[in-house]
Structure 1
């Protein structure tokens, strides 16, 4: 159902782990499945982030106008919340009568208002309530009323009930068990509020819906854009792909190890590229190709339609966007910013918010791969955000990658690449520890590598790490400091979702030890030195 007819089309909606957030009832999206759990589920889009979710209408949706002061007038709220609130307020003023709450919303408000639960007379403090008071509901006057059993000479033994959802009363040992089907039906007919239908307590947000829509509620379905494998193989051999180049003017920010290789591949495949780099001397390294260098990010954005950026970390991204003569000074309609950097979800969401506010377009597109992958144009791209912009970047992505994925709203690209980085970092560290152990117990590394290459453990990553350790060649393909940065953000993301990462936490400490030993700028396989004494 698109419109909440009782509460109006614009509402307050709440997901687990966050405070209520301005939202709008919209038509459901096929890729986001309706929860199998019983409930009166409504599909909403959250303002500001454009994230979508199924929300239980009975317990986690409130009318917008009536709860505007309670949920919206707070001193300490994130900027993203203020942006969402302004957007919702502006749209609410334009609504027609058919989109506003129904006439009986006052009754609904009284039903949804938090009520103080009181114990029935004679209830004990601990254990189960007496049989006569086992099932009860709270009426509007907070006067408990026992639910009568069917006529019977002896009390009927009830079958074991399913464990109810914990409410404030049951958590304190003062509530009763859930009602039977017949009893629930009777309660609905009386129009009274059951204990199980009361809304959960409002808590301060761990994350806003723009940065926290639980993966268990939202299915991420990727759209894959790639080449035919046979064609790709032949094109890689010829070191050039058959690409229909976009007519958009392309700008590029960040000429590091990966960024420099990307620029060369873009130019090689026919794109006209302009660049800016904080360290001006790096620009001389591409003097052999046809590229125009600008003096500031603002000048670059003014001269280009689409600007791609591949930077070191979130701090570098924020500096490029918001510094004097930065990207935002020239951002506006007809301009687009594509961030290829691996950052945290909050940075990606804030960047989208500010760029959209200025009238521009934003796409997060973090890449995964090594220096060799960047040179060969075989990176992986996990994109999310503006889908139209994603399609306009097709030729650019084909030039620098072997496959690109479109994952939906902003944040999902970052979540995907951080999950992948966690796996890569853990495997790399496991290989390093295994080879350190083999060395300690007298097994030759070459023999271990031969066994690994013929075992179920064999993979490109295992082979590359093993060979680098044997050759003691730790020239950076993917630096240790960058993989540790990704691990840090992956662990922080897991904390937000209360997801334990026991092994990853230990792996992260090993990379941190490597940094303390001065291995930051070496390849991530140099973590071997941190595992051996």
Structure 2
């Protein structure tokens, strides 16, 4: 098994890295806040002091951070990833970024003789913990196939989307749908309650029919209890919707619903609900 380096141990990254370790892969991790690496260290992972040190100790480097700014920091800061010899190494970005940024990242790494795979994921905290994410991979097909075993420690399915940046494009389409589904569920639930329909009755009815789906099933208990532990921070959904609207503008796609929900999420962010 190739030695894996994993950068980013946040809400998604920590359980994903843990599942790689459970899958038997030798693992070295790095996080900007070193304390977050301690649980994995006790479970057998090595902890690197910098992205450069992680790259030098790994054959496959996985990045799972909040967005382009965090990736730029990992790449360019002192002792950053680009200070390492990356020749022949595979760098996998699983963070959600824009397709244009993905193309630039691909070119940057190609100049350093690294192989780049674009592989964002569909799923939030619970699927990350359960290892049931869907991996949306793009890049050299033979390299994606080579990484399938690694990907399946973190997910239940690997979807090959084509060449870079098709994985990132697929992720934006998926998250546009996700944002719309959650806004619609919330609006319909509030509407039902205002008409005197009980919350549990409404949700049971939705889940019993053709509108029932895994996403709504995951949210049911949270909605019934009125407790909403962070699964995917709203500020990150807003970021992804912004990327989706930019890509829609570039491609000429009409996204009227996307523009509406973007404003809803912006209002929520303004009310302090970003995290």
TM-score normalised over the length of structure 1: 0.50
Give the C-alpha shift of residue 398 in structure 1. 1.1
Match of 1:486 in 2: 240
Give the C-alpha shift of residue 367 in structure 1. 0.7
Match of 2:60 in 1: 306
Choose which of 189, 213, 222 in structure 2 pairs with 1:459. 213
Distance in 1 separating the partners of 2:206 and 2:141: 42
Give the C-alpha shift of residue 463 in structure 1. 2.8
Cα contact 2:41–2:47 (8 A) shared by 1: no
Cα contact 1:331–1:355 (8 A) shared by 2: no
Choose which of 503, 506, 530 in structure 1 pairs with 2:260. 506
Which runs of 5 or more structure 1 residues have no equivalent in the other structure? 1-246, 522-533
Choose which of 186, 202, 209 in structure 2 pairs with 1:432. 186
Distance in 1 separating the partners of 2:181 and 2:205: 17
The 1:425–1:331 alpha-carbon spacing in structure 2 relative to 1, beyond 3 Å, is farther
Give the C-alpha shift of residue 466 in structure 1. 4.0
Cα contact 2:64–2:95 (8 A) shared by 1: yes
Choose which of 65, 68, 90 in structure 2 pairs with 1:336. 90
Runs (4+) off by over 3 Å: none
Structure with greater helix percent? 2
Distance in 2 separating the partners of 1:505 and 1:344: 17
Q: Which has the higher contact order (CA 8 A, sep 6+)?
A: 2
Cα contact 1:491–1:505 (8 A) shared by 2: yes
Distance in 2 separating the partners of 1:391 and 1:459: 29
Distance in 2 separating the partners of 1:362 and 1:461: 31
The 1:359–1:287 alpha-carbon spacing in structure 2 relative to 1, beyond 3 Å, is closer
Cα contact 2:29–2:47 (8 A) shared by 1: yes
Which string of whole-angstrom CA distances, capped at 9 and with x for unpartnered residues, describes residues 196-254 of structure 1?
A: xxxxxxxxxxxxxxxxxxxxxxxxxxxxxxxxxxxxxxxxxxxxxxxxxxx21111100
Cα contact 1:273–1:291 (8 A) shared by 2: yes
Match of 1:140 in 2: none
Distance in 2 separating the partners of 1:293 and 1:468: 35
1:275 aligned onto 2:26: no
Pairwise mapping of residues 508-527 of structure 1 onto structure 2 (< 5 A)? 508-521=262-275
Match of 1:284 in 2: 38
Match of 1:351 in 2: 105
Structure exhibiting the larger radius of gyration computed from Cα positions: 1
Cα contact 1:275–1:294 (8 A) shared by 2: yes
Q: Which moved more, 1:279-288 or 1:258-267?
A: 279-288
1:261 aligned onto 2:15: yes
Which string of whole-angstrom CA distances, capped at 9 and with x for unpartnered residues, describes residues 119-144 of structure 1?
A: xxxxxxxxxxxxxxxxxxxxxxxxxx
Which runs of 5 or more structure 2 residues have no equivalent in the other structure? none
Match of 1:163 in 2: none
Distance in 2 separating the partners of 1:457 and 1:394: 32
Which string of whole-angstrom CA distances, capped at 9 and with x for unpartnered residues, describes residues 316-374 of structure 1?
A: 11221222211111143222210011100111111110111111111110011011101
- Equivalent pairs counted in the alignment come to 275
Match of 2:135 in 1: 381
Distance in 2 separating the partners of 1:331 and 1:390: 22
Cα contact 1:431–1:465 (8 A) shared by 2: no
Partner SS for 1:511: helix
Distance in 1 separating the partners of 2:130 and 2:250: 36
Partner SS for 1:257: coil
Distance in 2 separating the partners of 1:263 and 1:436: 38
Pairwise mapping of residues 38-437 of structure 1 onto structure 2 (< 5 A)? 247-437=1-191
Match of 1:144 in 2: none
Which string of whole-angstrom CA distances, capped at 9 and with x for unpartnered residues, describes residues 159-213 of structure 1?
A: xxxxxxxxxxxxxxxxxxxxxxxxxxxxxxxxxxxxxxxxxxxxxxxxxxxxxxx
Partner SS for 1:251: strand
Q: Aligned-pair RMSD on alpha carbons?
A: 1.3
Partner SS for 2:42: coil
Cα contact 1:365–1:383 (8 A) shared by 2: yes
Cα contact 1:305–1:335 (8 A) shared by 2: yes
Distance in 1 separating the partners of 2:12 and 2:52: 23
Match of 2:225 in 1: 471
